[in-house]
Amino acid sequence: MRTLLLCLAVCNSVWCVTAMTQSRSQGADKPLMTLVEQLKPPFSTTERVRAAEALEGYGESAVAPVTKLLRSGDRRTRKYACLALTRLGPCAEAAVPDLTAIVADSNSPLRREAVIALGRIGPAASDATPVLCRVFREDDEILLRDCVVETLADIGKGAVRTLAENLQSGDIAVCQSVCVALQRIGPEAKEALPALIALVSVADQGLRDAIFLALAQMGAPAVGDLTRMLQHEDKHMRRLAAMALSKMSSEAAPAVRALCHVTGDPEADVRFWAVRALARIGESGHGVSDCLVRASLDEDADVRWQAAVAMRATRVNESSQQALRSLLNDAHPAVRAEVEAALGNR
């Protein structure tokens, strides 16, 4: 029986390898330069796409001949060269200067294709960051700007300094694009933290929201600044700070004391997000249980609901269990449902 199973396993492995080999793009077994030539006319669209896909198998050795085609007089040849470089990804670092030149040319019809290729190259394309930032400062084409933001996020840490500098542009749309890129980069974008903090009081609500979303994705490095903002005189700032902390889960643990204090905020929205943050953090120390008991008596039903969620997520004492039981007759169905689930798990 074991011999039979072994034979089946070997046969299955051989079948998998054969299937993978057969599933490669047609032309994958052709010589490198033959595939490069097939990116040019008179080959059909299908043949050109297959050639671009097959070139991926040649890795770095395909980069130089494909990059030369970026200077072809035929627009479609340049287009399929961009596609091939996109498929080659990080190993196409040597093509970054030529791709960047295409992006910099406002008259080029292939800027978006070049931007996408730079994104696939990733961190190795960091030298293109200044040009990419200039595009979303100066270009009005929405699709191109969206592609640029995606590419800057794919470049990652190497793009952060230039992105942070562009937060000083004064242009709302530019700053929002920067925030989206920083949000996607996440904790590696912590170098931009001072520039983001300097903008948090901006009047534009859309930009302010984008800033706090970026701060939320930075995690631990942003906790201190967000904790201080919980005491801000502007209720919207307090709400956004609590909301950002709620997205960090356990990373926001240093903010627990401040969040407990804010559960007594005059604004229901602030109280709601503070209690929600405590639920996400899931910590029961620092007087959290007593704080949640008080929140369970809040006049706002959504705050009471989040208090029940938080008590379910944390280890609570007897007084907390009593508070949960008192909510079994709450007028809000969501509160009752959460309490029933919480008590049922104890």
Place domain 248-346 in its CATH homologous superfamily.
Answer: Leucine-rich Repeat Variant (1.25.10.10)
- Residues with Cβ within 8 Å of 234's Cβ and at least 6 positions away in sequence, in order, are 201
At 24 the pLDDT is 42
* Axis crossing angle, helix 288-295 with helix 318-326, rounded to the nearest 10: 10
What pTM was estimated for this model as a whole? 0.78
> What are the tokens at 139?
């270009």
- Give the count of beta carbons closer than 10 Å to the beta carbon of residue 142: 9
At 26 the pLDDT is 47
HSE of 265, CA atoms in CB hemisphere, 13 A: 26
Nearest to 158 by CA among 133, 116, 197, 188: 188
Torsion region of 171: left, alpha or beta (phi above 0 gives left; psi -120 to 50 gives alpha): beta
pLDDT tens per residue, range 74-109? 999 999 999 999 999 999 999 999 999 999 999 999
Nearest to 275 by CA among 249, 299, 295: 295
Average pLDDT of each block of 10 consecutive residues along the chain (346 residues)? 38 38 49 96 96 96 98 96 98 98 96 98 96 90 91 95 91 92 94 95 92 95 96 95 94 95 96 95 78 90 90 70 82 85 67
At 222 the pLDDT is 96
At 283 the pLDDT is 75
> What are the tokens at 28?
């994958």
At 203 the pLDDT is 87
In the chain, domain spans: 248-346
At 69 the pLDDT is 98
At 334 the pLDDT is 85
C-alpha separations of 344 from 275, 313, 341 in Å:
21, 13, 5
pLDDT tens per residue, range 150-181? 999 999 999 999 999 999 888 898 899 999 99
At 346 the pLDDT is 46
- Triad 48, 50, 53: Cα angle to 5°: 110
At 284 the pLDDT is 67
What does the chain come to in residues? 346
Nearest to 117 by CA among 135, 105, 100: 100
